[in-house]
Chains A and B, each alone.
Chain A
Amino acid sequence: MSDRTGVVYDLGYQPYEGQRLGRVGAIKAMIKDGLRRTFGIRRKARKKVYPWSMVALAFLPAAVFVGLSFAISSFAPDTDSPFGGHAEYIGLVGTVIILFVASAAPNLLISDREDGVLAVYSSRPLTAWDYIWGRAGALAGVAAAFFLLPNLIMYVGFAALDDRGLASALLNNSDDLIKVIITMVAYVVGYGAPALLVSTYARRVGPAAGTYLAVIFISPAFAEMFRNLNFAGSRYGTLISLLQHPEVVRNWVFERSQSNIPMISVGFEPWLSAVIIGLLGVGTVYLMARRYRREL
């Protein structure tokens, strides 16, 4: 506490003489800070409700199904659970990712601009790229965890119940894990990049989240409309569906039916969705760099 009676204490000045690390440490710190903020850690309880509800939504079903499988020997996840195997569970987790990044991305990017804290980063030995990787890394890390961990719970849990034994089942089902990881990249980039892009340019957190959700959830309706139109090139309009590109990749990887997806039904190949997701990711990073190089 400062002494307000008027005494001025001379504490001198002791400079820090310790070791200096590189920028990787700084980026890690930014990611850690981003994780804290997306989960509302060190914030009021009401700020924690939404992110932790999403955690529960992503993890609880997987834990419950695995638990039921342990408890009831006749419970078969593929047939008895409403989410079946990994491919079906990814459908649920995909929605959770959308709802989570809709809130997390604006909170990460727009809050920094609103609170004027960009100067904290710009006056440090960091580039705009470091800031972008730090923030995008936090968002991608959380989204990847949402995606991967429940699937890992299922992968390990069901392998433990397998008649062949845990190790053997893990090994035999390892192609599932590879498919999950490939699909994870598609979902994280496909849903995360638009959220970052909107948050890079939007001024307020609420409108940014609303805009993102509207774009994601309304775009399939436009794709459906383009499927039913009969003019030259109208089929390209079906590619507008941002919601469905990760789903197309999932169906492709897990060899599921694609017949109800407009872009597939008009003759596009599934790999095009993977390309579009890649372009979306690269384009988002480019536009973020353009925006932040002016300020960082």
Chain B
Amino acid sequence: MNDNPALVADPTVEVTGVSKWFGQKVAVSDVTCSFGPGLTGLLGPNGAGKTTLLRMLTGLILPSQGEVLVKGALPRAEVDRFRDLGFVPEESALYNTLTARQYVAYAATLTGLDQPEEAADIALETVELTGDANRQIGGFSKGMRQRTKVAAALVHNPEILVLDEPLNGTDPVQRAHLIKLFGKLAARGHTLIVSSHVLQEVERMTDRVIAIVDGKLAAAGDIGAIRRAMSDIPYRVLIECDKDRQFAAALLNSEAVYSVTVDDSRLRLETSDLLGLGSLVAGLARELDVRIVRFAPEDESLESVFRYLVGGR
């Protein structure tokens, strides 16, 4: 057993001291973590290094330093390792002139399946694209293109599935369906690594996250535990209102409010008690006859969560 939440007990994918740089730019810096059966969310703001890390996990690029092992082997050294691996890249990676069925069947053939059409039909049904299977991909919406990629990654029933922002462009119904599908695969013992820059999406899928910021491992483990670890860091809240200076002064009298900055009718607060602040703001607004236009925790955005994480280290 290990106490490092970035590592799992029975890893299928192991990342050890991995760095990747492109010229002067360091995309991933000394990341050590592992992934096992179940679903792990790979979180990080845009440009954090998630895609670079995923491309190293799938052997598409080699680390500049460190080692990635997929089921105990270097993915590049043993090409048959890719039979156990499915990858949904962030980029288009689709032939627009093919139909979804032709494309997924082609992906199946490339993976060595001898009944590619049959396998393609199963995979397309899984992502609810059966009705559009014979339409050209060029005419698909972004969500349909995403689902086609997921079908192509699933078609050979891989043990490890790496998905780079798979929910991008999907509508809420399809997002719910895909999240449910990923959950089922994880429950069956598949290893799923799903990257996203949307915290809420990941929270719906899994509790275990690996968070990357500026190419570095920023947090790992259970989302709740990470949040608790962040409890000494104040939440940031944005309020838009009239009588901004009067309202700011009133808010500062509360012990729950650490600081307030005023910027053109916008108040930015730091508080340790988000729920309590809601009641406080409502009460003060009534008392001072202040019209609140907007009350929004800035922590909703992953970027701000990570700003806290990085700043708190």
Contact = CB atoms under 8 A, between A and B. Distances in A.
A125 B60 contact: no
A3 B174 CA distance: 9
Interface stretch (A111-119, A137-145, A202-210): A111-119
Contacts of A119: 60, 87, 89, 91, 93
What bracket does the count of chain B residues touching chain A fall in? 35 or more
Given A26-B110, A115-B94, A126-B79, A9 B119 contact: no
B302 interface: no
Interface residues of A, number: 42
B188 interface: yes
Given A2-B173, A7-B173, A14 B89 contact: no
Contact of A123 (B60, B80, B122, B185): B60
Interface in A11-56: 11-23, 25-26, 29-30, 33, 42-43
A29 B120 CA distance: 15
A121 interface: yes
B128 A19 contact: no
Interface string B154-166: 1111000000000
A42 to B, nearest CB: 5
Contacts of A16: 108, 113, 115, 118-119, 122-123, 155-157
Given A11-B125, A125-B81, A17 B157 contact: yes
B80 A14 contact: no
Contact of B92 (A19, A116, A126, A295): A116
B30 to A, nearest CB: 23
Given A43-B97, A124-B82, A124-B107, A20 B114 contact: yes
B-side interface mostly: helix
Contact of B110 (A6, A29, A43, A127): A29
Contacts of A4: 171, 173
Contact of A117 (B81, B95, B119, B128): B95
18 contacts: A8-B180, A9-B177, A11-B125, A13-B188, A14-B122, A16-B108, A18-B113, A20-B112, A20-B156, A29-B109, A115-B94, A117-B94, A119-B93, A120-B106, A123-B87, A125-B79, A126-B110, A127-B79
Closest 5 CB pairs of A and B: A15-B157, A123-B87, A29-B109, A125-B82, A116-B91
Interface of A: 1-4, 6-23, 25-26, 29-30, 33, 42-43, 115-117, 119-127, 295
